[in-house]
Amino acid sequence: MRPKPFPVLVTGGAGYIGSHAVLALLDAGWDVVVLDNLTTGFRWAVPETATFVEGDVSDMELVGRVLGEHGIGAILHFAGSIIVPESVTDPLKYYRNNTAASRALIEAAIVAGVPHFIFSSTAATYGIPDEVPIREDMPNRPINPYGQSKLMTEHMLRDVAAALPMNFCALRYFNVAGADPAGRSGQSTAGATHLIKIAVEAVTGKRPHVGVFGTDYATPDGTGVRDYIHVSDLAEAHVAALEWLIENPQESRIMNCGYGRGYSVLEVLDTVDRVTNNPIVRKLETRRAGDPDLLVADNSLILKTLPWRPQRDDLGLIVQHALAWERKLAERAES
């Protein structure tokens, strides 16, 4: 393993995706400092080999101190609020914790002279696309404050990178699912809203059934279609993006992260049933507000830009790993 030029700061590293990124970075030999305020994350999700700082990304004094004391050379910014319906009812929370907090973090990074920044963006920046698969140059028309709050951060990064010595990658995640194949981390969030997490909770008996939100979408079986990406593949994409930013200091990129293939809600539930050989109870329900019919990534830009190649492009494997983690959580809750 080549020696790394500097330690990196991972904000939100005690959360679902951030904790997998921390594992991928440590596995690749990076020194990692995690900054997390533990609102939805867990202290135990941060490995002992990473440094943990409890605090808020909007606390510029704290962030400045952490960046300076550790000689941080890149920030991977996962911290944020992520619940779309909540962003509709409490938009200011999203503009505060996603947009304003990111602004503070970016300013602290500029003041400290941190040259590289990776941002967790989302397919929600596209809104309802005119066509799929979705390319990065297609229009951004977010239909909720969550997507808007993330798009505004992308715009700040674009403008900062044009004017100041920082380059960035904004990675637009499609639907993230699964868990670390070695069982070191997984999605632990209470009150999860994501389909695969809910389905595996139904398998372990935490929920009596899974609601199918709408059967009249313009998709082959009438249920919503999404592009599910394994969280460990996504984590590895961040490591590759970090190396690319260092090698290409004059360049920045906004890139989709998905496999380029969609599965309907019913196909996901069929896969869960196949993995367990024991059908979960499905309840056909009405549409959830604000859900697009079809979201599938065109991933050609990330495949062209980075040496990254997905290793776990298999819905059955994603479900298996999510389920293994869910069983671990269930055992932990019992003991």
Ligand X SMILES: O=c1ccn([C@@H]2O[C@H](COP(=O)(O)OP(=O)(O)O[C@H]3O[C@H](CO)[C@H](O)[C@H](O)[C@H]3O)[C@@H](O)[C@H]2O)c(=O)[nH]1
- Enumerate long-range contacts of 285-290, CB under 8 Å, 24 or more apart: 285/211, 285/212, 285/213, 285/214, 286/213, 286/214, 287/213, 287/214, 287/216, 287/217, 288/85, 288/213, 288/214, 289/85, 289/88, 290/84, 290/85, 290/88, 290/143, 290/144
Q: Catalytic pick from 16, 126, 146, 173?
A: 146
Contact predicate 237/173, CB 8 Å:
no
Contact predicate 136/254, CB 8 Å:
yes
Task: Find which of ligand NAD, ligand X, none residue 226 binds, CB within 5 to 8 Å per kind.
Answer: ligand X
Q: Smallest distance, Å, CB 104 to ligand NAD? A: 9
Stretch of 21-29, 118-126, 276-284, 320-328 lying at the interface with ligand X (CB under 6 A):
118-126
DSSP codes, 286-303:
PPPTT--SEE-B--HHHH
Q: Does 299 bind ligand NAD (CB under 6 A)?
A: no
Q: What beta strand segments (E) does the chain contain?
A: 8-11, 32-36, 51-54, 74-77, 116-122, 167-173, 175-177, 210-213, 225-226, 228-230, 253-257, 263-264, 282-285, 294-295
Of 75 and 295, nearer to ligand X (C-beta) is 295
Catalytic site includes residue 173: no
- The dihedrals phi and psi of 296, each to the nearest 5 degrees, come to -135, 135
Size of the site for ligand X (CB under 6 A): 22
Please classify residue 258 by burial: count the beta carbons closer than 10 Å to its beta carbon, then call 0-12 exposed, 13-18 middle and 19+ buried.
Answer: buried
Nearest one of 224, 227, 203 to 326, comparing CA atoms: 203
- By CB under 6 A, the residues from 202 to 231 that bind ligand X are 210-213, 224, 226
Residue 59: half-sphere exposure toward Cβ, Cα within 13 Å: 14
Contact predicate 72/130, CB 8 Å:
no
With CB under 6 A as the contact rule, the residue among 291, 314, 324, 328 that binds ligand X is: 291
With CB under 6 A as the contact rule, the residue among 82, 118, 254, 280 that binds ligand X is: 82
Here's the x/- map for ligand NAD, 37-66, by CB under 6 A: it reads as xxxxx--------------xxx--------
Q: Does 167 bind ligand NAD (CB under 6 A)?
A: no
With CB under 6 A as the contact rule, the residue among 198, 246, 324, 329 that binds ligand X is: 198
Q: Does 129 bind ligand NAD (CB under 6 A)?
A: no
Stretch of 12-20, 161-169, 215-223, 325-333 lying at the interface with ligand NAD (CB under 6 A):
12-20
Task: Find which of ligand X, ligand NAD, none residue 120 binds, CB within 5 to 8 Å per kind.
Answer: ligand NAD
Number of H helices, E strands in the chain: 11, 14
Stretch of 75-83, 128-136, 238-246, 288-296 lying at the interface with ligand NAD (CB under 6 A):
75-83
- By CB under 6 A, the residues from 226 to 285 that bind ligand X are 226, 265
Stretch of 73-81, 151-159, 288-296, 325-333 lying at the interface with ligand NAD (CB under 6 A):
73-81
Q: Which residues bind ligand X (CB under 6 A)?
A: 82, 84, 122-124, 173-175, 193-195, 198, 210-213, 224, 226, 265, 288, 291, 295
Catalytic sites, residue numbers: 146
Q: Which residues bind ligand NAD (CB under 6 A)?
A: 11-12, 14-18, 35-41, 56-58, 78-80, 82, 97, 101, 120, 122, 173, 175-176, 189
